[in-house]
Structure 1
Amino acid sequence: MAKAKSNIAVGYVRVSTADQTDSGLSLEHQEARIRAYAAAQGLELLDIVSDAGVSAGKELSSRPGGVRVLAMLTTGPARHLIALKLDRVFRNAADALNQTAAWDKAGVGLHLVDMGGQSINTQSAMGRMFFTMAAGFAEMERGLIAERTAAAIQQKKKRGEVYGRPVLGFDAVGGRMVENAEEKALMQRVLEMRDAGVSMAKIADRFNAEGVPTKRGGVAWHASTVKRICDRML
């Protein structure tokens, strides 16, 4: 029986909806960089698998293209995975380190073409060290962005500025949150009905029967909708 070739690789490219307008991360750009890298490293590309419009928040195993990639690496002939950047493949540091640890045991190497201008190959000790550091720094950056976003939203709230889609009781007018008296009265009615012992499901049924519009303009009230109003007011 012929020995399986050890230089067979599969490429993986991904864009989220926002990424699709960024030429630096387009599928075509990623594919071109992967093909160039494979040629330079003497790797034989079996295929380049694409996940278009898929968020990085999903694990590789829950993405349509990711499932194909994992199958090629687990049961197929591919021994290498090539991607442009770390965030094209993984959602966070734990996901990255756990998956690459499993690949290490299976003899599968991960190649990241552009990590700050340098490529990384996890089959070398140096590459593995840089990969671990890069995963940690990427996780830290995501955390910092989340903290800055939360702080900015809190400041907007304090100043009465629009910070997102207006909730029941408020409208966005000229970049500021302005109280909606009619909706405020509706919210007060919800509390009074709850104080009278009416269940959230019954309140929703009554509003549906009366044709009371929701904040989004629909007429489909649910117990969960009523609960959110109560949680905000209590």
Structure 2
Amino acid sequence: MATAYGYIRVSTDKQATTGISLDAQRAKIQAWIELNGYEFGGIYEDAGISGTKQHRVGLDAVLSVANKGDAIVAYAISRFARSTKHLLEISEELAAREIDMVSVSERIDTTSAAGKMVFRIMAVMAEFERDLIVERVTGCLANKKARGERIGRPRYGFECSNKTLTVNDNEQGVIARVKKLRKEGLSWRKIAAALCEDGIKSRTGKVFMPSQLVRMIDAIPDCYKLFDSNVDSVTVCASQ
């Protein structure tokens, strides 16, 4: 009996909750494998990894484990890759090894000439969709920048309201403590541990990582340097 392996992927943690989650992809793939009479060989996953990356741990693993006559099944061809070139490279590699490539949602595979044709069309459409997203996001950011609006969240210690950057007193207190502990000779790791012991967490409610503390103190943008003891707020500059 031929073996079928599943491959699942989400690009971000947000997509895992608002898009097609890993669990949803897993369920669809397992149902397809059972329905089509394959032996289940397991499911390989890449969580929080973009489809534009050619080398992914989960993808590389499933490509290496499958053998002649087996099938690799994904929820959609966009899970394999977002680039038409990369998708075709994967399909050609698997075709040469006589391994089937299946997309559950599009109901296509590469076991026939018709399936190969549809696959190539879908690969082009997947890349087109990604290019449209990039184009829209780029245009949106350019418009916001031209209007003098801030792009992204303010760095730790500040907050933005009605296009105005203001000091966040609580976060500034944390910054002051980090600076003090650093002057006392503590390593970034020990400072992170000290904050954790006192229940001080990041904006996301997680424990501070040493790298976050470094970014918190170092490389403050010029826009933020406009603050001094006599200034409470400043309109966000267009360069930010």
* Counterpart contact for 1:157–1:163, Cα < 8 Å: yes
With over 3 angstroms needed to count, the CA separation of the structure-2 counterparts of 1:148 and 1:220, relative to structure 1, is closer
1:174 aligns with 2:161: yes
2:61 aligns with one of 65, 68, 71: 68
Specify the code of the residue in structure 2 equivalent to 1:83. Answer: A
Specify the code of the residue in structure 2 equivalent to 1:12. Answer: Y
Matches within 5 A, 1:1-234: 5=1, 7-16=2-11, 17-22=13-18, 25-59=20-54, 62-73=55-66, 76=67, 79-115=70-106, 119-165=107-153, 173-176=160-163, 217-219=216-218
Identity of aligned residues (%): 33
Partner residue in 2 for 1:230: none
**TM superposition shift of 1:135:** 0.7
CA distance in 2, matches of 1:11, 1:78: 15
**TM superposition shift of 1:172:** 6.7
With over 3 angstroms needed to count, the CA separation of the structure-2 counterparts of 1:220 and 1:128, relative to structure 1, is same
CA distance in 2, matches of 1:131, 1:147: 24
**TM superposition shift of 1:175:** 4.0
**TM superposition shift of 1:163:** 2.2
- Which deviations, in whole Å up to 9, do the C-alpha atoms of 1:78-131 show, x marking residues without a partner? 62101111122213111101111111111111010002xxx1111111111111
Name which structure has the greater RCO, CA cutoff 8 Å, separation 6+.
2
CA distance in 1, matches of 2:127, 2:137: 15
Q: Please report the TM-score for the alignment, with normalisation by the length of structure 2.
A: 0.63
Q: Which runs of 5+ in 2 are unaligned?
A: 166-214, 223-238
* Counterpart contact for 1:10–1:78, Cα < 8 Å: no
How large is the RMSD of aligned CA atoms in angstroms?
Answer: 3.2
Partner residue in 2 for 1:197: none
**TM superposition shift of 1:67:** 2.4
Partner residue in 2 for 1:211: none
* Counterpart contact for 1:166–1:177, Cα < 8 Å: no
CA distance in 2, matches of 1:45, 1:124: 22
* Counterpart contact for 2:68–2:98, Cα < 8 Å: no
CA distance in 1, matches of 2:52, 2:163: 31
CA distance in 1, matches of 2:160, 2:49: 34
